[in-house]
């Protein structure tokens, strides 16, 4: 990642960006640290204006015109310098793949889309040449397109996506109507880096050292490694499950009555499931799982800032067998609220405060909640060119852990697992999600039951697949 780019105007990376560019992570696998989002666009889309709208959005945001280099201009370089990010005055237009699928059969279209998505993920990015994003726009019918939007986690996170989408649609509608979008100036990402660099970590260190003291080892999700012999690029698979509409409704009713949040309930049930599958016995268990957090508890324009702020932090769950489930989950939720001001600390620093080796994971699974701010106006419209409508159609994101579980709210709560076939077999993942859905239904129907009764129907030994 060396470059001849003039880095005199470069500035340091944020803690989250440094974690992405840790040695052996981002550069080891071209598909690492990518966000790939699929959106269905309905209406009579004017493609040229739509492309130009995205170009104007990229021009608005410094972070989308940013490249990442390690070359500091000195010769010879005695040691590998720290990477810096450099904002280009102008970025080349992003790559666009345009295709017309109207004459292709549905089965061929699905197969071709799967191949396109997989090929797009392994392309990677040249990190020193912005923009670190690209698009595929596939025409499905006269009034429907599929947009595939791929971006690197060095420049955006999930929270940024609806912000950028809203701006792109505003620019598009303004262009179609022959006016200026009049969007307010965005806050530069460098302001967040300056704010985060100046933060005193003493209080965060005190909290996390206490929280992570005597941390237990991660509960293994599967006893024996699968006999998987494929290529590294094909080492990940997905499995999805949805709760029934009735169970989803009951769960939300119970969450409201018990003054809980969905993340606290899912985290608690997931930890209880791991405790039941691990060798923890019938007494108090101590389980650590990972959770993605927005990382927007403070800082300049944190709610509207475009850039990578999302972080992954440990959630320590102590199983209290004799407590009612609702009481136990409220305690977990309260502890999470105490951690929120310190959710910006990068994983490497958390590992050091926990006294763990640099290459030792604190947890084997990560829960990711689709709770990003969405303006419902983005998802409404008619079939004329200025009021196209947009529907979320799916998201693919990478993980450096054996299993990443994405929880998607809706009429039927969605559980979407992405897992490493080198460490987990499909039967294990299917069993985990089925048992999690069962525990969520138990919470929904009787939150007053003791935690000891919150368990899968069959606590057999860990599967070996």
**pLDDT tens digit string along 254-263?**
999 999 999 9
- pLDDT given at position 229: 83
Average pLDDT over residues 51-60: 96
Two tokens at 341? 């001001």
Return the number of other C-beta atoms located less than 10 Å from residue 123's C-beta: 12
Q: What is the pLDDT of residues 410-444, one digit of tens each?
A: 899 999 998 999 999 999 999 999 999 999 999 99
Q: Using one digit for the tens of pLDDT, what is the confidence trace for 242-301?
A: 999 999 999 999 999 999 999 999 999 999 999 987 654 444 589 999 999 988 878 888
Res 2 pLDDT > 70: no
Among 40-49, 125-134, 303-312, 351-360, the minimum mean pLDDT is found in: 351-360
> What pLDDT digit, counting tens, does each position of 110-153 carry?
889 989 998 998 888 999 999 999 999 999 999 999 999 999 99
Give the pLDDT of residue 187.
Answer: 95
Cα–Cα nearest to 378, from 109, 147, 33, 138: 147
| Residue 350: Cβ-neighbour burial (10 angstroms; 0-12, 13-18, 19+) | buried
The whole-chain average pLDDT of the chain stands at 86
Checking if the pLDDT of 69 tops 70, the result is yes
Residue 302, class by beta-carbon neighbours within 10 Å (0-12 exposed, 13-18 middle, 19+ buried)? middle
pLDDT for residue 63 is more than 90: yes
Residue-level pLDDT at 7: 54
- pLDDT confidence of residue 378: 52
Look at residue 398 in the predicted model and tell me its pLDDT.
72
Q: How far apart are CA 58 and CA 52, in angstroms?
A: 10
Residue 104 structure tokens = 């292709």
Calpha distance 198→190 (Å, rounded): 12
Is the confidence at residue 85, as pLDDT, over 50?
yes
d(CA 108, CA 38): 18
């Amino acid at each position: 990642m060396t470059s001849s780019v003039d880095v005199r105007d470069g500035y340091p990376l944020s803690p989250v960006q440094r974690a992405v560019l840790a040695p052996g992570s981002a550069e080891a696998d071209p598909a690492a640290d990518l966000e790939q989002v699929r959106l269905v666009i309905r209406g009579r889309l004017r493609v040229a204006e739509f492309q130009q709208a995205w170009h104007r959005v990229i021009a608005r945001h410094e972070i989308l015109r940013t490249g990442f280099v390690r070359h500091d201009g000195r010769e010879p370089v005695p040691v590998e310098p720290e990477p810096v990010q450099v904002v280009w005055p102008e970025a080349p237009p992003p790559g666009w793949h345009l295709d017309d699928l109207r004459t292709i059969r549905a089965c061929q279209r699905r197969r071709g889309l799967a191949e396109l998505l997989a090929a797009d993920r392994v392309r990677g990015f040249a990190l020193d040449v912005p923009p670190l994003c690209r698009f595929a726009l596939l025409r499905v019918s006269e009034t429907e397109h599929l947009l595939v939007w791929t971006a690197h986690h060095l420049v955006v996170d999930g929270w940024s996506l609806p912000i950028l989408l809203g701006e792109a649609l505003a620019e598009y509608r303004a262009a179609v109507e022959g006016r200026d979008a009049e969007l307010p100036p965005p806050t530069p990402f460098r302001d967040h880096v300056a704010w985060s660099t100046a933060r005193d970590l003493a209080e965060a260190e005190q909290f996390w050292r206490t929280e992570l003291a005597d941390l237990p080892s991660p509960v293994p999700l599967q006893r024996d490694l699968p006999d998987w012999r494929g290529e590294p690029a094909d080492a990940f698979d997905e499995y999805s499950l949805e709760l029934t509409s009735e169970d989803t409704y009951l769960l939300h009713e119970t969450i409201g009555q018990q003054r809980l949040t969905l993340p606290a309930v899912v985290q608690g049930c997931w930890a209880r499931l791991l405790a039941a599958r691990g060798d923890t016995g019938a007494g108090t268990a101590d389980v650590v799982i990972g959770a993605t957090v927005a990382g927007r508890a403070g800082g300049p324009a944190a709610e509207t800032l475009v850039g990578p702020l999302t972080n992954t932090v440990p959630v320590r769950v102590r199983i209290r067998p004799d407590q009612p489930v609702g009481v136990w989950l409220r305690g977990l939720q309260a502890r999470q609220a105490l951690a929120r001001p310190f959710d910006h600390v990068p994983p490497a620093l958390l590992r050091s405060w926990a006294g763990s080796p640099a290459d030792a994971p604190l947890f084997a699974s990560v829960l990711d909640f689709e709770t990003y701010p969405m303006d419902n106006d983005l998802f409404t419209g008619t079939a004329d060119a200025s009021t196209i409508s947009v529907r979320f159609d799916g998201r693919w994101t990478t993980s450096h852990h054996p299993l990443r579980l994405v929880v998607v709210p809706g009429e039927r709560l969605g559980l979407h697992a992405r897992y490493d076939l080198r460490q987990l077999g499909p039967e294990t993942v299917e069993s985990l999600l089925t048992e999690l859905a069962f525990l969520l239904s138990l919470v929904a129907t009787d939150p007053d039951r003791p935690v000891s009764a919150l368990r899968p129907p069959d606590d057999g030994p860990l599967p070996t697949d």
